[in-house]
Amino acid sequence: MNIFVGNLDYTVKESQIQELFEQFGSVSSVKIIKDKLSGKSRGIAFVEMDEDGEANTAISNLNGFSLKSRDIAVMEARPKEENKSSFQKRDNFKRY
């Protein structure tokens, strides 16, 4: 299961998140999302856990957990939706 983790302190490391989630089961991967330009954390991460039961236990126990003085938000990640921005529809723009 893919798990969204939000409201992270910008100094939290992937290893710290992995250690936190491993209390509830096996963690396949941890990915902190970083700003493309600055390379700094955006305060969110995704954790992948193989077993849904372990993932659900982690979610229920860690949602609202205080990590580095911030209450983190933990929930099942929603599937990424296709960006439907009108700016992607280049047919609407004339090229000169």
List, as one string, the DSSP characters of the chain. -EEEEES--TT--HHHHHHHHTTSS-EEEEEEEE-TTT--EEEEEEEEES-HHHHHHHHHHHTT-EETTEE-EEEEPPPPPPP--GGG-GGGS---
Give the mean pLDDT of 29-46: 97
- At residue 79, the pLDDT reads 86
pLDDT (mean) for 67-92: 78
Q: What is the pLDDT of residue 54?
A: 98
What is the reported pLDDT for 92?
56
Per the structure, the complete domain to which residue 7 belongs is given by: 2-78
pLDDT of the residue at 80: 78
Does the residue 68 lie in any domain? Answer: yes
Q: Is residue 87 part of a domain?
A: no
17 is a domain residue: yes
Q: What is the pTM of this model?
A: 0.82
Asked if residue 89 is part of any domain, the answer here is no
Q: What is the tally of structural domains in the chain?
A: 1
Residue 40 domain flag: yes
> What confidence score (pLDDT) does residue 4 get?
98
Please say if the pLDDT value at position 93 is more than 60: no
In a domain, 64, yes or no: yes
Q: What is the CATH number of the domain that holds 26?
A: 3.30.70.330
